[in-house]
Structure 1
Amino acid sequence: MNRNIIIFGLVLLSLQGCGKKEANNNAVSSDETMSCASSLPSRYATASADDSTIISKEISYEGMVQIPEGEFLMGASDDEGRQDEYPQHKIKLNGFWMDATEVTNAQFKKFVEATGYVTTAEIKPDWEEIKKQLPPNTPRPDESVLVAASLVFTPTNSAVDLNDASKWWKWTTDASWKHPEGPNSTIKGRENYPVVHVSWDDANAYAKWAGKRLPTEAEWEFACRGGLVDQKYSWGNEDPEKGKPKANIWQGKFPYLNTNQDKFIGAAPVKSFAANKYGLYDMAGNVWEWCSDFYKPDYYKDMQGKLTSNPQGPTTSFDPMEPTIPKRVVRGGSFLCNASYCKGYRVTSKMKSSPDTGLNHTGFRCVADIK
């Protein structure tokens, strides 16, 4: 199999292939692949990293913020939401603790040193697992393709077809949390940056070790809103490109021109921008964040017209674009989100990804129950 075909298959539709918003939000899009509800790039069934030997340590609430209990309307109420953001529905949540920032490289390094954990990106893909998700009789790719690797964003030189995410995502050998842009890069001097190239499995393993857990999608959105009612962003309704920079996003024309208005081309150190009213940083932009929930596009319909307490998400996953691949929800947008192409930094915007997917703009933060 041609290497470019494998890359195209691995990349599929990028997290930043979020696409242009269809005019009628309640109609089925004729170009659903161009919406922020489209699938993330996938590593295609790489063996999950093993967390069976990880023992939870006593939890520390240092660096966490206590989120109060409360009720709120979850989901989009304006005309910017995508199909899986509707209908808006009432949620009641217990109070909980949440990391004030995304988990940093320094924090993740302590976890790896304490446990010997090996991340998904550092594991060679398993062809026997890959072919289960490909058409019958698909030829085995060259061994040079089946290597430990992850997806790295590479800006293009000019405007490109935004349907083709392989133009800006590169399957990069030896890219991992320790080498965010590939083997010649390092996290030295970036200890306070969010850890990236972490799969859902990796994030869940860290949370287990820390005595915490990943947030539910409902907890994440409630915390992101910071007590604001029916506002577009975690800071209110003002456009992020007006006034003082409010989040680490892509200014300019994606994926080739970043005007660098917010002073960061890639990820930014945590706490580089103002916190929301709950004291949480980077709930918009910087890196996407894993949630615990499985993904189903019509899940919100199940909760319409009633008050739901502490929802845990659907019990199984279904993505009509890739029905054989289970997906988890990611939230918050990243440094690649652009107003004309992907507004993933809206409080209700969501994406989905297979749990073995890692990219250099995807990370996480943890939560814990109040005891």
Structure 2
Amino acid sequence: MTAKEAVPVRGDSPADDDFSVIQPVGFTPVEEQAGGGKLLLSPRALTVAGCLLLGTLVLVYLLVARSLIFETQPADADVSVSGLALPLGDGHLVLPGTYSYTVSATGYLPKNGEVEISSDDHSRHAVTLEKLPGHLQIVADPPVPVRVEIDGEEVTSEQGLVKDVPAGRKRITVLTDRYLPFTQEVDVEGLDNTQRLEAQLRPAWADIHISSNPPGATVTVEGEVLGRTPLEAELIQGDRVVEISMPDHKTAEIPVAVTAGVEQRLAPVDLGAADGILQVASTPVGASVTVDGEFRGRTPMELALTSGTEHQLRFFKDGFSSVERTVQMGAGAERDMTIDLNAVFGRVRITSSPESARVYIDGELAGNAGETFRLPTRSHEILVRKEGYEDYRTTVVPSAKLEQSIRAVLLTAEEARWSDVPAEISHPAGGRMKLMRPDAKFTMGSSRREQGRRANEVMREIYLNRAFYIGVTEVTNREFRRFRRMHSSSHVDGVSLDNDNLPVVNISWTDAALFCNWLSERDGLTPVYRTERDRVTGFDGGANGYRLPTEAEWAWAARFQNGDMRKFPWGDELPVRKDSGNYADNNAAELVPAVLRSYSDRYAATAPVATYSANGLGLHDLGGNVSEWIHDLYTIGTGLSMRREENPVGPQDGDYHVIRGSSWRHAGLTELRLSFRDYGADPRNDVGFRVARWVN
């Protein structure tokens, strides 16, 4: 071993030399040899190290890389992948990441895209290439210019060549003049290839033989002159009109249904002598014209009259005397005729209430009411006008033989407005309602001195001026069952209360209010009663829907007559008058404790509505039959305030509602009076209701 070889060495690489520890030993310098220093690793070692490193990298690549396989349509398409992608069998070997690819094949559109490779699994990617369009060469037999439609849409073609047709099954239609359309299904293969389609065209015409009497007439079809009769012409299939004309003769128009390839011989056409043409006018214009009793129009006009025959012409116009003429025309002759019509007048007297109104006739001021006007005997628009009143309009046709009269009754704006409000209506359940327009100041309640008075009949000063509709009768079982189909009014000891025409009973005040809301909804009106879960929580005094009558309305309708308040339904004195209502009489003796021994109403319990006479307002049973639920909540006033209440609707708070009117159970003086007041909330077998509505 030389001195140089005796130098201590740590580690296997030059990097370890940097960390050698110098020991304190004796040192003998080594003589340097010519030729410089010696390499630490030989070339062979470096080659081996490089091969090992490369092998390691390859091994790592193989362990980390994933296969990427493209499934292409067509299968022989070329696939190019960007980046480090090693072809391997049917696919590529790639590291995880994102790669761009291009798939191409002859006859197809190339397709580019990106694919992301994860480290979890191998990847398969399907790519379908779209075929390039194909071309279609149409060869027509016979060789004529054609138009081409593909699937019903016309396409551009050059000498029968249609370019860039998408691949797939197509319906090809070949069109050309004078030939039938040719249609065929074709599978277009695409791939930029040209396919040939031979179209055998069949003629679209037929030979038509046309003749006339006399011969030599001109034949025209759709404006094209084909020749003179007799004639054999080729007509395109379809519904055609053949026009045959000749001077001094009538033109004939013959409809012909032409079928391609089917020859036809038309029957000879007889051409009659041409009509004469008469130009007619009148003074004034617009006169109606009849020829031989047939209306032909109004002047000025052109009349075609059969030649060689006498015709009766009549001219007439409203307000003018008619004129008759006899005319005979030669074949093809033309003449003019002017007729003067003489005016005919009638007399119309126009009066008005109030007087001194102005009269306008046909939009022009003609004079004053009270005058007689001489007018042509035709329809006239009459307008009678006076300041402060609505216009009166009518029409009149004066008569030359009889003087006519018109009386114009002029209404104020208020009267005219109410004239458009119907006096009677029907609600959706079928009941009738009458219009009431009160303007009354009255005292509701009764005097303390009145025999039979109850403490709750406190006197109140009322002013009622709000118009309303009110039911002519009480609501019947039939009407209520349209709202609540299964309702039964039941019976009293076997006496039925449930027949259709009997008033509905055994319903609560809330039931009656909900019925009113149902009517409102059926008529598209705003409901009066506010509800929550079939419970009434209040009311809207401005709503236009159906409701129960207010106590003031009921009292006025039942009692007010000629400025006074009646005591009983029949008048102011006892006994009960015959046929005045349904009360507790001998017929009800087994049902109630007290009866009217000297009165008979023919019914033990309720009676059909409108059985008895109506009161002066046309309303039935406001006394008797059944008592009635009222809109107002029940209270008892003090009677100390004499302030007049205008259209009262009752208090906002309370536990009970007012009941008004006597019933079939009542026979006492207290109950028979129209001022009798009761209250309640729950159903009873002698309480029903009627409906009302404000007129806004």
Give the TM-score normalised by the residue count of structure 2.
0.32
Equivalent residue for 2:444?
74
Mapped to 2, the partners of 1:198 and 1:62 lie a distance apart of 18
* Alignment match, 1:362: 687
Matched residue type, 2:606: A
Question: In the alignment, which residue of structure 2 is the partner of 1:13?
Answer: none
Q: Where does residue 46 of structure 2 map in the other structure?
A: none
Q: Is 2:427–2:433's contact at 8 Å kept on the other side of the alignment?
A: no
Instruction: Name the structure 1 match of 2:623.
Output: 284
Map of 2:302 onto structure 1: none
SS of 2:664's partner is coil
- Structure 1 distance, partners of 2:668, 2:455, is 18
Partner of 2:434: 65
* Aligned equivalent of 1:334, options 647, 663, 679: 663
Q: CA separation in 1, counterparts of 2:497 and 2:664?
A: 18
Q: Matched residues in 2 for 1:288 and 1:198: separation?
A: 12
Are 2:462 and 2:552, in contact at CA under 8 Å, matched by a contact in 1? no
User: 5+ residue gaps in structure 1?
Assistant: 1-56, 120-175, 318-325
Give the match for residue 642 of structure 2: 305
Cα deviations by residue, 1:92-116 (Å, 9 ceiling, x for unpaired):
2311100000000110111114xxx
1:195 equivalent among 485, 504, 520: 504
Whichever structure has more helix as a proportion of its residues is 1
Q: 1:257 to 1:305 in 2, by over 3 A?
A: closer
Cα distance change, pair 66–240 in 1 and its aligned pair in 2 (3 A): farther
1:98-137 equivalent positions in 2, closer than 5 A: 98-113=470-485
Contact persistence 2:497–2:606 (CA under 8 A): no
Residue by residue over 1:297-342, the C-alpha shift from the partner in whole angstroms, topping out at 9 and shown as x without a partner, is 22x637x32221111112222xxxxxxxx111000110011125xx
Q: Is the 8 A contact 1:226 1:278 kept in 2?
A: no
The secondary structure found in structure 2 opposite 1:109 is: helix
Q: Distance in 2 between matches of 1:62 and 1:292?
A: 19
CA contact under 8 A between 2:431 and 2:475: conserved in structure 1? no
Structure 2 CA distance for partners of 1:351 and 1:315, relative to 1, 3 Å: same
In structure 1, distance between residues paired with 2:595 and 2:663:
16
Structure 1 equivalent of residue 552 of structure 2: 218
Alignment partner of 1:345 out of 672, 676, 694: 672
2:438 maps to amino acid: E
Alpha-carbon distance, 1:220 to partner: 0.9
Larger radius of gyration: 2
**Any idea what the Cα deviations from partners look like across 1:159-178, whole Å, max 9, x if unmatched?**
xxxxxxxxxxxxxxxxx42x
Q: Give the CA deviation at 1:186.
A: 5.7
RMSD of aligned residue pairs (Cα, Å) = 2.7
Residue identity in the other structure for 2:474: E
Give matches, 1:165-244, under 5 Å. 176-177=488-489, 179-181=490-492, 190-211=499-520, 212-228=546-562, 229-241=564-576, 243-244=577-578
Question: In structure 2, do the counterparts of structure 1 residues 83 and 305 end up closer, same or farther at CA, with 3 Å as the change threshold?
Answer: same
Tell me the CA shift for residue 238 of structure 1: 3.2
Q: How many residues align structurally?
A: 237
Q: Distance in 1 between matches of 2:620 and 2:581?
A: 9
Distance change >3 Å, CA 191–CA 74, structure 1 → 2: same
User: What SS is found at the alignment partner of 2:491?
Assistant: coil
Q: Provide the rounded CA distance (Å) in 2 between the counterparts of 1:358 and 1:61.
A: 23
Distance 1:85 1:208, change over 3 A: same
State TM-score, norm by structure 1: 0.58
Shift of 1:62: 5.6
Moved over 4 A (4+): 57-62, 184-188, 256-260
> How big is each residue's C-alpha offset from its partner over 1:129-156, in whole Å with a ceiling of 9 and x where there is no partner?
xxxxxxxxxxxxxxxxxxxxxxxxxxxx
Aligned residue identity for 2:646: S
- Give the Cα–Cα distance (whole angstroms) in 1 for the partners of residues 594 and 644 of structure 2: 45
Letter in 2 for 1:263: R
One-letter code of the match for 2:620? Answer: Y
Residues 505 and 683 in structure 2, CA contact (< 8 A), matched pair in contact too: yes
Tell me what 1:267 maps to: 606
* Structure 2 CA distance for partners of 1:240 and 1:96, relative to 1, 3 Å: farther
Instruction: Return the letter of the residue paired with 1:110.
Output: R
Distance between the aligned counterparts of 2:434 and 2:507, measured in 1?
23
Is contact 1:240–1:247 with CA below 8 Å preserved after alignment? no
Question: What is the deviation of 1:185?
Answer: 7.1
Residues 75 and 89 in structure 1, CA contact (< 8 A), matched pair in contact too: no
